[in-house]
Structure formats: structure tokens, C-alpha cells
A and B are shown apart, each in its own frame.
Chain A
Amino acid sequence: MPVIKVSINGTETSVEEGTSVAAALFNNGVWCYRTSVDGSPRAPLCAMGICFECRVTIDGHAHRRACMESCRAGMEVVTGG
């Protein structure tokens, strides 16, 4: 599978094309996709667009669901918000 480069929290990393942003974060050891109202770390629960636990900032757009988007070359993903 072709490999593309994306940036995760400022660090460039390689991912296979077609990988979801959620899976790319998972493969890069990210366990906190967002921080909850009371400050605890959260990560995907449903992984299919329902729970909104995996929302991250993608290319400057906040609250994007990581499970619903495929990685694109040059994409910048910021977690923990």
C-alpha cells in the first residue's frame, strides 16, 4: 500500500494510504484524542462516527471526527483539545 506523510502533534510520520486519522493516531501511540469536561483523556469508543470521543483538530478545523476521515498527504492533526 502506498505510504503518505502526515503530521501528528507537530511530528511528521508515515502512514499507509486509506488509513483513518483515528487508526493513524492509534498506531502512533496517541491515547488522548481529546480531553473531557472534567479533564480526563478520551479516545475512540465507537470508531464509526457516533460517539464524538475521537474529535481532533485537522488542518486547523476543530472537532473533526478522527474515525471518519482518511489521512491525506500533508495533513496536520492536533490532539488533546
Chain B
Amino acid sequence: MVESIEAAVVVVGAGPAGLAAACCLGEVGEDVLLVDEAPRPGGQIWRHRQASDLPAGAHQWLKRLVATPVRSLTGTAVVDVGADGSLVAESAETTLQIRGRTVVLATGARELFLPFPGWTLPGVLGVGGGQALVKSGADVRDLSVVLAGSGPLLLPVAALLASRGAQLRLIAEQAPRADVVRFGAGLWRNAKKISEAFGYRWQTLKAPYRLGVWAVAAHGDSQVREVELTDGRRTWSEPCDLLCCSYGLVANTELARLLGCRIDSGRVEVDRYQSTSQENVYCVGESTGIGGAEKSIVDGQVAAAHIAGESGQLRALERHRTRLQRFSKDLDRAFRPRPELADRLLPETIICRCEDVRWGDLDSRWGIRQAKLYTRLGMGPCQGRVCGAAVRSLCGWDADSVRPPVQPCRLSSLMRGSAAEI
């Protein structure tokens, strides 16, 4: 069954950026449809089972959403773009064809995973992955956990896991001490972020927080049992039931690419009003560059003010955003993955998890196209969302195109309910 829906503004993604855009537009009387594939709005950072689990700031945005006339469709994923520019979405039951005069993309970011031997073992997951699983109700009491990888997400996730009774054995940050210290010193402009960091560290004091340490292998039979770590000189093992390991975030740009928006350095290119290179398509939040929830909210407010023609607020919002963009740049520089992360890959280490393509199957003289044709790398259900960023980092290959549908969907959604269209 295909349902047709129209709205003046369609917002894709109900994380902080999308919520802010939808609420601000809804509050000035715009006709807004907000679409998100998760069962509840909030995105990844505000993932929750009940609203009372959320921090006050997040709760406030969700309350604002309910108070506006914004139509909110959860459990609905945008999978394709029709020839007329409409968005094709599907829920568990129906296919929707959504037409909007203006589209605001707020598709967020995913984690950067860099392969290492054993990373496919059950129990090895992302840092944000561990957080998402716990927020979705996973019980980690008494499980022994190692957090490894990079970036400011390590500490809040460590704090969350500790508060839920996990035994933290180690928090390993791959970035060199000097870079992390410089990043910390640069935070003087942002007292709130400093106090947050100290707060998280205070809650995780029982676990050592080591800088310049990274995971080189995970071992186990049918699940992870221990992780091998190194500081570049010495290698040692820590037993664990869960290993959370990822290297920061990468923007989700698939839908923007499909809509023809220009991409720059892995991010959707936008102007000062969050307009993309495509007319009437805006992009807000992490898809335009990783900067955190606070920047995402301001992005959403800027786009909303521009769409609604409320230029009065724009200047103040833009100033605020400039300050947050500086934080985003510092973040990028300090937590860049070190080249040694690739040193311990073995020929049998899996790179593409969907198709079980191994490091030894790939040839550094190829490009992404040869890799796809010869090995099926990036051609499984995730469509290269995981291995694409990994081979960009390992081989310099750029997954430069996207093909519809942007994620696996029902045939009936591709057919839009009409045999004449195929």
C-alpha cells in the first residue's frame, strides 16, 4: 500500500538538529512533517525508553515538539527519492510518498570503525554502540568492559556504563597525550564542556584513563574474551565481556548525495543559512560536520529562521554557531586516528563485515570500483556504511557515489505500488 503525504517542510531525522528545526518552524505556524526511522524521536544522543531517562534539555525539546502542530512519523525510514523529487519512505506496514516544498536533512552521523583482528566477534561494538544498547535497555551489570578508540564520547559512555553497574577495566584513548592536553586547554572558552568532562571522569575514577593507548586485537571463541592493547612500545591484554571501540563520528551523507547535494570532505556542503547546493534542500547537524548536539540545535534554528523568513534572530544564532564550529575543528585535529592503527591488520582480518571481505583480498593499487567488482566490498546490506569509511582511511578510496535505495527496503516500496513504474 502506498500513502501520499504532503507538507510545506519535510524534516528527515529527529535528533537535536531535526527537532530544533521542526519545533521552530512548527511554532511559527509552518506545516511541518518530521520523519525518523527510530521508534521515538531524539536521535542517537537522546535515545531513550521513557522521557524521564533524558536530561532536562532534551526533555524540553521533546515537550516543545508535542506542543507544536508538527506531524511526527517515527519508525519510518526514507529509502529513496522519486523522479519528481518526492521522498519514498517505509514503515513496518506501509510505503509513503512524501512531497515537501522544502526538505531539511538532519540525518546525523555514525561511528567510524577501523578494523582490527577480532573486531567481528560478538561483544565488540562501538562506543556509541555500547551507549545505544544500554539506553535501549541492555543490562550490563557486572560485565567487564574495556572502552577504546578516540574522542570525547569515551568518557560519557564510560560514566553511563559505570552507573549501570558495569566493571570498567580501562578507558583507552588513542590520541597522543600532547594532542588531548592541547584540546583540553582550548576548551577554556567553553566552561560547560570542561565541567562535563570532569564530571564524567569523576564518575569513572575506578578505571584507568590512558592516553596514547589503542586496541590491536580482540580474542575469543564465539564472543570476545580479551582485548590486546598497546601504547606503541608495550603490548598487553585485558580480559573483557564487552569491548567498545570506535574512532569518532562520520557524517551520514547518503540521502543528501541521492538528492544531488554537493559533498565536501565527507560532509554535506552548506552556506551560512544551512542551504545545500540543491534548491530548497537544507542540511543541519552532524551531517554538515561533527560538532555535537549544541551546534546541531543551532544549525536547526538557523535553517528554521531562514525558511520562515525570520531574519531578526539569524545574526545572534550565527555568532553562537561560529564559536561552536571552532570546537568542531579542534575536535577533528586532536582525535585524528593515528596511522599505526593499521599496522596490525592481518591478511585474514575482515574489512567488509557484510560480505566477509578480508584485508588480504584487497589490492592497494585498486580503487573502490575494482574492490567492489572483484570482492563485493561494500555491496552488502549496510551499503558500505561501515567499511566505506574504513577503506577511505586505510586505502584512500573514496566511495563517491550512492545508489538508490539508500538502504534495503521492500520491493513494493521501489515499485511505489504501481507496476507501470518499473
- Interface residues in B, total, Cβ within 8 A: 40
Tell me if A47 and B126 are in contact (CB < 8 A): yes
* Distance A15 CA – B138 CA, assembled complex (angstroms): 10
Tell me if A18 and B385 are in contact (CB < 8 A): no
Query: In the complex, which residues of chain B have a beta carbon less than 8 angstroms from the beta carbon of A70?
Result: 39
Tell me if A63 and B408 are in contact (CB < 8 A): yes
Interchain CB contact (< 8 A) of A19 among B44, B128, B136: B136
Task: Choose the segment among B208-216, B332-340, B350-358, B414-422 that binds chain A (4+ C-beta atoms closer than 8 Å).
Answer: B350-358
Tell yes or no: B227 within 8 A of A by CB. Answer: no
Contact A38/B356 with A51-B382, A67-B132 known, Cβ cut-off 8 Å: yes
Tell yes or no: B178 within 8 A of A by CB. Answer: no
Determine which residue in B39, B122, B223 has the highest number of CB atoms from chain A within 10 A of its CB, and name it: B122
Query: In the complex, which residues of chain B have a beta carbon less than 8 angstroms from the beta carbon of A32?
Result: 122, 222
* Distance A50 CA – B386 CA, assembled complex (angstroms): 8
Across the two chains, which residue of chain A brings its CB closest to B124? Answer: A45
Main SS at interface, chain A: loop
Contact A23/B353 with A41-B122, A52-B382 known, Cβ cut-off 8 Å: no
- Interface residues in A, total, Cβ within 8 A: 39
Query: In the complex, which residues of chain B have a beta carbon less than 8 angstroms from the beta carbon of A22?
Result: 133, 136, 138
Tell yes or no: B68 within 8 A of A by CB. Answer: no
Contact A52/B381 with A16-B137, A18-B50 known, Cβ cut-off 8 Å: yes
Tell yes or no: B269 within 8 A of A by CB. Answer: no
Contact A26/B124 with A31-B223, A45-B113, A45-B386 known, Cβ cut-off 8 Å: no
Across the two chains, which residue of chain A brings its CB closest to B222? Answer: A41
Say how far B233's CB is from chain A's closest CB, in angstroms.
30
Determine which residue in A17, A38, A43 has the highest number of CB atoms from chain B within 10 A of its CB, and name it: A43
Binding site for B on A (CB under 8 A): 1, 15-20, 22-24, 26-27, 31-33, 36-38, 40-53, 55, 61, 63, 67-70
List of 8 A-B pairs having minimum Cβ-Cβ separation, nearest first: A19-B137, A43-B122, A18-B49, A20-B136, A23-B137, A47-B132, A52-B381, A23-B138
Given contact pairs A42-B120, A44-B133, A51-B385, enumerate 10 new A-B contacts (beta carbons under 8 Å): A16-B49, A18-B137, A26-B139, A27-B138, A31-B122, A37-B355, A37-B356, A41-B222, A49-B37, A51-B353
